[in-house]
Amino acid sequence: MDNDKPFYSRSQLALRNGQDKEEVWVAYKGVIYNVTKSRLWRGGKHYEHWAGQDLTEELKDAPHSATVFDKFDVIGYLR
């Protein structure tokens, strides 16, 4: 864990859904990632998943592994 990154509440994360603010963030295992630049998250939606949420439970049904998050910047941590 990078101690200089801030902590965010679930309600703060929810605002980064691609609708309320321009940023598109998702969380996985307590880490918040900025997926704004991903073409797959345009508009805050990726298949049946919505941005601004913790996707930890949903990833088990995804056709990819958690390494997909390695290409995104860590914004902070979920409080």
Predicted confidence (pLDDT) per residue in 16-70, tens digit:
999 878 899 999 999 999 999 999 998 898 888 899 999 999 877 776 778 999 9
pLDDT, residue 79, reads 94
The structural domains of the chain, with segments of one domain joined by +, span 7-78
Q: Is the pLDDT of residue 9 over 90?
A: yes
Residue showing tokens 């860590």: 74
Residue 23's pLDDT is: 93
55 near 28, Cβ under 8 Å?
A: yes
Q: What is the mean pLDDT of residues 2-13?
A: 92
Distance CA 56, CA 21 (A): 22
Handedness of CA 14, 18, 23, 28 (dihedral sign): positive
Q: Rg of the chain's alpha carbons, rounded to an integer?
A: 11
CATH 3.10.120.10 is the classification of domain 7-78: yes
Report the C-alpha gap between 15 and 64 in whole angstroms.
Answer: 26
* Residue labelled with tokens 């980064």: 16
